[in-house]
Structure 1
Amino acid sequence: MSSLYIKTVAFEGIDIIEVEAQVHIANGAPSLTIVGLGDKAVKESRDRIKAAISSLGLALPAKRITVNLAPSDVIKEGAHFDLPIAIGILAAMNIISIEEASKYIILGELALDGRILPVLGVLPTSIYANTIEHGLICSVYNGQEAAMSSSEIEIVAVENLQQLVNHLKGIQFCKRPEFDASVFNASGKFYGDFYDVRGQYGAKRALEIAAIGGHNILMYGPPGTGKSMLAQRVLSILPQMTPAEILQTSVIRSVAGELRDNTFSAERPFRDPHHSTSMPAMIGGGKNANPGEISLAHNGVLFLDELAEFPRQLLDSLRQPIESGYINVSRANKHVTYPAKFQLIAAMNPCKCGYFGIAEKECKKVPLCAQDYQGKISGPIMDRIDIHVQVSNFTPSLDDDGSDRGEKSEVIAKRVEYARAAARERYKNEGISLNSELIGDQISKYCVLSIKARDIMQNAIDKMDLSMRSHNKILKVARTIADLNKHDVIEEKDLFEALAYRSKLVVKG
């Protein structure tokens, strides 16, 4: 009779729970039993493991083999338990050394012919293994992902079970995969340049301010005015992610299964879900409490086109993550927290037909149609959007001489980086880097108004019936405009522009 254990992991969101694959072989009727609250994929692993070990020319001992995945009160999901269970059985059979195998965190799915297939969550597992000073064993197809976390962690990335057995026995050496920064690729989408959009200088200015301060923005106007084009080009003026942000974003993508083909990216996420998107797809959830669109947009942009067409309940579910930067996904058997620090960019028409305010095109139901359409978006959501900007119809000239195109994105991006650098320096002792992140006493400390601007702000509070949230958001946007204008304090010009971006209704009937 023999008993031993191999280390592997289970996932709770992006957090790691260490799991022991305990293998016990005893006399009795030949069987392979896996216990420990595993899902269907875990239960089915018995046949995959038997076939993979058979591919080595070996047969399981004619004894009772029991595998326990501990702790038993944690649900085990996924096929990545195949490989640690197989290694545990081979160690119990004295095919490989348990002392050597116990140096690693092991995960991988087994094919029937012994190949080791890629799995989800290798990046956060690699980070965890590094913190506990263990190595990592995974599929060769996850090698780049595993190497991304650290250049120091020992990684064994193999193609099949035979290679892994030979490596652990010292017969064959598997070279450690090295992370190659050249694997950072664009997402494949074309975002274009602000120069592509003719006219719309006011909207471009508003988007530049939003990019500097990380502010949420809503663009409204009739169809065909360039709202979607403008939103898609925001990435062209946002700075590249820092190494820490790249790692955070990649961890979420790893858990979501978006790094299977090593499609790493250093550019900020841009998620643009359709308005038919379900609640679990947007905020996270489903059977395995997977990350949703708002978490996949972490450190990037969440673009909601046709905002009023999204279900009201779905939009209201964004209230908490917009404010806190994270989302709690609760299910009957699982409670998971995902990061969700995104910049919301939304676009919508002023009414159902889209032409409210254009006399020759608007329908016969104005202004009620516009009020009903806008009423589909709750007040609390509108209150959380810092900047509201109208995108009016623009009639270009037939001669495209470039005079109505404005600046290229690279010119705007330099101003964005300069203003962001000023904010980073100002907040270096506060643990934040963007004006939109200011909270509590930080707002009064850093959003200092000039004497004339104070009078203007007091008048706005009295006349606009501002909520405290609206008041704070106006000050934070004004601080961003002051940075863009290179003002140490918020001047009246800065405040007037910030106030112009604030309204109770998108349009007033």
Structure 2
Amino acid sequence: MSLAQTWSVALLGMEGQMIEVEAAIGGGLPRTVLVGLPDASLYESRDRCRAAVANSGYSWPSQLVTINLTPASLPKAGSHYDLSIVAAVLAAAEVVPRESVRRRVLLGEVGLDGRVRRVRGVLPALMAARSAGFEQVVVPQGQQAEAALVEGLGVTAVGSLADLVDCLHGRPVLPVEDDPATGEEGGSPPARDLSEVVGQPEARWALEVAAAGRHHLYLQGPPGVGKTMLAERLPGLLPDLELPEALEVSAVHSLAGVGVDGLITRPPYADPHHSASQPSIIGGGARIARPGAISLAHRGVLFLDEAPEFSPRVLEGLRTPLESGVVTLGRTQLQTRYPARFQLVLAANPCPCGLAATPGAECRCAPMAIRRYAERLSGPVLDRIDIAVTLAPLRRAYLRTATVGETSAVVAARVREARERQARRLTGSGWLTNSEVPGHHLRRGLPLPDGVEALDQALQRGRISARGVDKVLRVSWTLADLAGADAPTRSHLLTALAMRRGEPAEGVA
């Protein structure tokens, strides 16, 4: 009996588990057996690989071929094991040297004609391979840029099984024309400038504060006042991602199958439709849960337009990730964890028809309908929002005389300076922005501003919760950072309290 081994990677959330792929030839009737808890797409790789090998000019063994994926007790899913299965079988059949595949990690899906297709999760898989001590990897042609993000690995890109055989024999692999990307196009939307928003000075200021401290934002107002325009311009105010953040964001997008042509350095932006299901937003799947929109918006912005129209299960599912920054998805066989430290922006109308707050317009919604509409956003969800803003419709005269506001570049410069002040203050703590600072550090590790008695009164009267007290303190520190102050003042605290409760803050415009 002839035996050969090579390696692939099982992706369990953001963590990679090394999988030894063994192929044994001989000992029974001609057939191919695949064992090791494969899912349907992986089990079908027997037929894909056999046809690909035959159509590439090589012979699939005419004996019993047993392929084992170790550890056998770990569920395995995906088509990225195809390339390692082919390599192990060819090595067992002595088509390629066995030593050339013994310490090599291979990722790729094969087509019936022998082409090697792109797969999801190359970046997190290679990060796991590097941590396990591997030095040589093989990836599909066209994913070299993604693989090159992991330093310390020798990467070979192959476009066909003929290229794979050349690679394993030590011969040079000629570059081929890239196949069309199989992943979805992702990333941030086209750049939109804040100067395009007419009026709404308080909302513009709230957007700047939210960007500076990475605070959650709730925009309420009638249709057409600029809620969506403001939310779409928030990513343009955020600074570039640091290298550890960029690698983490790129790994999530690679795992989700979103095209990654290089390091993602800009904060991502996700705006799912209100008809989206809970698994598509929170994450889910049958055996191994895949990341949802909240993970694709990690270190970026998640915008829920027409928030009351979303499913209550979707909205309530945001509660834990908003606090912890991660989402844990349990299934019968295993649990997966994905990062989900996103900045949430909610937008809603005052009533189902949207005309309740429009002067001169007649709202025909019944009082009970307005109440049910407002109750779709539960108290626990709204309690996790840092800043609430009510936008008013613009007058015709104002539209005629309104001047062009500040551009995104001007506001982004102030946001960047505020972020730098936060970074200096939080050096060594592991926190990056004010929104991440826990309450005990706000109250004990940082000086309290004057006027905290206003928070005590609001707490005693039930106007804010204990969580709300911490959020007001965080926003007050962000206001101080924007103002260039070393610590928040009484004015900053009262302004943060007003912004928390959605009240007009005098002087904030």
CA contact under 8 A between 1:156 and 1:175: conserved in structure 2? no
> Cα deviation per residue 1:327-355 (whole Å; 9 max; x = unaligned)?
01112233111100000011101111112
CA contact under 8 A between 1:356 and 1:366: conserved in structure 2? no
Segment drifting more, 273-282 vs 185-194: 185-194
4+ runs deviating over 6 angstroms: none
Task: Write out aligned runs for 1:427-506 (5 A).
Answer: 427-445=426-444, 447-451=446-450, 453-503=451-501
The DSSP-based 3-state class of the residue aligned with 1:163 is: helix
Whichever residue aligns with residue 440 of structure 2, its letter is: D
Whichever residue aligns with residue 83 of structure 1, its letter is: L
Q: TM-score, normalised by structure 1?
A: 0.92
2-side partners of 1:386 and 1:430: how far apart? 22
CA contact under 8 A between 1:186 and 1:266: conserved in structure 2? no
User: Using a 3 Å threshold, how does the CA distance of structure 1 residues 274 and 483 change in structure 2: closer, same or farther?
Assistant: same
CA contact under 8 A between 1:186 and 1:265: conserved in structure 2? no
Q: Which residue of 2 aligns with 1:312?
A: 312
CA contact under 8 A between 1:129 and 1:135: conserved in structure 2? no
Task: Write out aligned runs for 1:203-218 (5 A).
Answer: 203-218=203-218
The DSSP-based 3-state class of the residue aligned with 2:476 is: helix
> 1:191 Cα shift?
3.8
CA contact under 8 A between 2:351 and 2:365: conserved in structure 1? no
User: Using a 3 Å threshold, how does the CA distance of structure 1 residues 82 and 358 change in structure 2: closer, same or farther?
Assistant: closer
Q: Would you say 1:40 and 2:47 are equivalent positions? A: no
Q: Which residue of 1 aligns with 2:347?
A: 347
Q: Which residue of 2 aligns with 1:147?
A: 148
> Cα deviation per residue 1:209-258 (whole Å; 9 max; x = unaligned)?
01011110101011100000011001111101112111111101111111
Q: Which residue of 1 aligns with 2:80?
A: 80
CA contact under 8 A between 1:447 and 1:490: conserved in structure 2? no
The DSSP-based 3-state class of the residue aligned with 1:502 is: helix
Whichever residue aligns with residue 315 of structure 2, its letter is: L
> 1:8 Cα shift?
0.8
> 1:263 Cα shift?
6.9
2-side partners of 1:187 and 1:306: how far apart? 22
Identity %: 37
Q: Which residue of 2 aligns with 1:182?
A: none
Q: Which residue of 2 aligns with 1:136?
A: 137
Task: Write out aligned runs for 1:281-300 (5 A).
Answer: 281-287=280-286, 288-300=288-300
> Cα deviation per residue 1:88-115 (whole Å; 9 max; x = unaligned)?
1111111111111122111111112211
CA contact under 8 A between 1:198 and 1:396: conserved in structure 2? no
Whichever residue aligns with residue 59 of structure 2, its letter is: A
> Cα deviation per residue 1:139-170 (whole Å; 9 max; x = unaligned)?
112221111222x3101111111112122212
Q: Which residue of 2 aligns with 1:113?
A: 113
CA contact under 8 A between 1:56 and 1:162: conserved in structure 2? yes
Q: TM-score, normalised by structure 2?
A: 0.92
Whichever residue aligns with residue 490 of structure 2, its letter is: E
1-side partners of 2:172 and 2:484: how far apart? 62
Task: Write out aligned runs for 1:183-332 (5 A).
Answer: 187=187, 189-259=189-259, 262=261, 265-287=264-286, 288-332=288-332
User: Using a 3 Å threshold, how does the CA distance of structure 1 residues 323 and 428 change in structure 2: closer, same or farther?
Assistant: same
2-side partners of 1:490 and 1:74: how far apart? 52
2-side partners of 1:498 and 1:483: how far apart? 13
1-side partners of 2:359 and 2:196: how far apart? 29
User: Using a 3 Å threshold, how does the CA distance of structure 1 residues 62 and 367 change in structure 2: closer, same or farther?
Assistant: closer
Whichever residue aligns with residue 428 of structure 2, its letter is: N
User: Using a 3 Å threshold, how does the CA distance of structure 1 residues 500 and 366 change in structure 2: closer, same or farther?
Assistant: farther
Whichever residue aligns with residue 25 of structure 2, its letter is: I
Q: Which residue of 1 aligns with 2:98?
A: 98
1-side partners of 2:188 and 2:216: how far apart? 25
2-side partners of 1:439 and 1:362: how far apart? 45
Whichever residue aligns with residue 269 of structure 1, its letter is: P
Whichever residue aligns with residue 147 of structure 1, its letter is: A
Whichever residue aligns with residue 228 of structure 2, its letter is: S
CA contact under 8 A between 2:221 and 2:357: conserved in structure 1? no
CA contact under 8 A between 2:25 and 2:64: conserved in structure 1? yes
User: Using a 3 Å threshold, how does the CA distance of structure 1 residues 475 and 399 change in structure 2: closer, same or farther?
Assistant: closer
Whichever residue aligns with residue 224 of structure 2, its letter is: G
2-side partners of 1:54 and 1:450: how far apart? 74
User: Using a 3 Å threshold, how does the CA distance of structure 1 residues 223 and 447 change in structure 2: closer, same or farther?
Assistant: farther
2-side partners of 1:400 and 1:190: how far apart? 28
CA contact under 8 A between 1:456 and 1:492: conserved in structure 2? no
User: Using a 3 Å threshold, how does the CA distance of structure 1 residues 42 and 399 change in structure 2: closer, same or farther?
Assistant: closer
Give structure 2 stretches of 5+ with no counterpart: 177-184, 505-509
> 1:436 Cα shift?
0.6
Give structure 1 stretches of 5+ with no counterpart: 177-184
CA contact under 8 A between 1:222 and 1:349: conserved in structure 2? yes
2-side partners of 1:171 and 1:190: how far apart? 43
The DSSP-based 3-state class of the residue aligned with 2:273 is: coil
User: Using a 3 Å threshold, how does the CA distance of structure 1 residues 379 and 412 change in structure 2: closer, same or farther?
Assistant: same
1-side partners of 2:186 and 2:266: how far apart? 7
Segment drifting more, 285-294 vs 57-66: 57-66
RMSD, aligned CA: 2.2
Segment drifting more, 453-462 vs 31-40: 453-462
1-side partners of 2:63 and 2:207: how far apart? 68
